[in-house]
Amino acid sequence: MDVNNEYGTLAIQKECVRLLKAFHEFCTANQIRYSVAYGTLLGAVRHKGFIPWDDDIDVIVDRKNYSKILERIGEFPSFKMDRISPNALWTDKLSLADAKYTGEYVPTLDIFLLDHSLDNKILDRIKLLSVYALQGMIKYRLNLRKGSFFMKVCSIATYILGRPFSHKKKYAWYQSVSSWGNNRPSKCAQCYNTLFGYISTKFPSTVLDSVREIPFEDITVMAMEDYHAFLSAQYGDYMTPPKEKRPSHITS
């Protein structure tokens, strides 16, 4: 945690702990298996809590447990679920209805989904490219500040292609393509509702089969037993901290 508020994230992180505790209790009560993921999992393993400059929460679930979340979350008015909106393009965001932090950034818990990759290399490539295209189609506005000329052209083309369709329809297509292949065994799995640069990362398909409780700051959270497979695939040498930097939010 940013104990000395060096990165200006202390207030946000305190609110995130409250949110994560509430989510953990919700999942435990409803027999939902989840794991902290990405920066939150990395922080749990390397720092026993938040990476000092981190300012949100990442969790990951499979489709079965995601369905349980959607079925039950509406029964808990303490949560606000942001779905199919300009702020939650393809990643659902959960927050507390009584969030105490009132700065410009409202702390959220991002829900990522683990879906099967396709063992057939050609079909797997088609699935990946389809997800890339749908990310461009589903955006509410263009952001051409970063990327190569080719990527900017692709962004413009997919954005224009998606304009005639409702966001709800494009979101449904996105979910359908992402879950393609889940009804058959697969050696690997991927998170298709994450940032563009992370989608191609492959994990063992069994990475979420076993989870356990671990400490995170002063609370308890669920984490995948095989966290090494996940973190090494995503970050490489994850136990060596990179050069510290202030967090930045990617908006589309």
**Contact (CB, 8 A) for 162 and 138:** yes
Residues 158 and 225 in one domain: no
**Residues whose CB falls within 8 Å of the CB of residue 134, separated by 6 or more in sequence, listed in order:** 90, 158, 162, 170, 173, 174, 177
> What pLDDT was estimated at residue 249?
46
Residues 15 and 92 in one domain: yes
| Domain edge (last residue) among 167, 187, 207 | 187
Residue 17 counted as domain residue: yes
> What pLDDT was estimated at residue 76?
94
d(CA 188, CA 71): 27
Residue 240 counted as domain residue: no
> What pLDDT was estimated at residue 132?
96
What domain range is 18 assigned to?
10-115+199-235
Residues 30 and 57 in one domain: yes
Tens digit of pLDDT per residue, the chain (252 long)?
878 888 888 889 999 999 999 999 999 999 999 999 999 999 999 999 999 989 999 999 999 999 999 999 999 999 999 998 888 899 999 999 988 765 667 889 999 999 999 999 999 999 999 999 999 999 998 888 888 888 899 999 999 999 999 999 999 999 999 999 999 999 999 999 999 999 999 999 999 999 999 999 999 999 999 999 999 999 999 988 776 554 444 333
Neighbours of 107 (CB within 10 A): 25
Q: What is the CATH number of the domain that holds 49?
A: 3.30.460.40
> What pLDDT was estimated at residue 244?
57
Tell the residue number behind the tokens 């398909």, with chain if given: 205
- Both tokens assigned to 108: 């959220």
Residue 67 counted as domain residue: yes
Residues 36 and 90 in one domain: yes
- Taking alpha carbons only, the member of 198, 186, 185 closest to residue 90 is 198
> What pLDDT was estimated at residue 252?
32
What does each C-alpha distance from 110 to 16, 84, 124, 244 come to in angstroms? 11, 13, 25, 22
H helical segments located in 166-223: 167-178
Residues 83 and 29 in one domain: yes
Residues 108 and 127 in one domain: no
In the chain, the number of structural domains is 2
> What pLDDT was estimated at residue 100?
74
Residue 170 counted as domain residue: yes
Residues 127 and 169 in one domain: yes
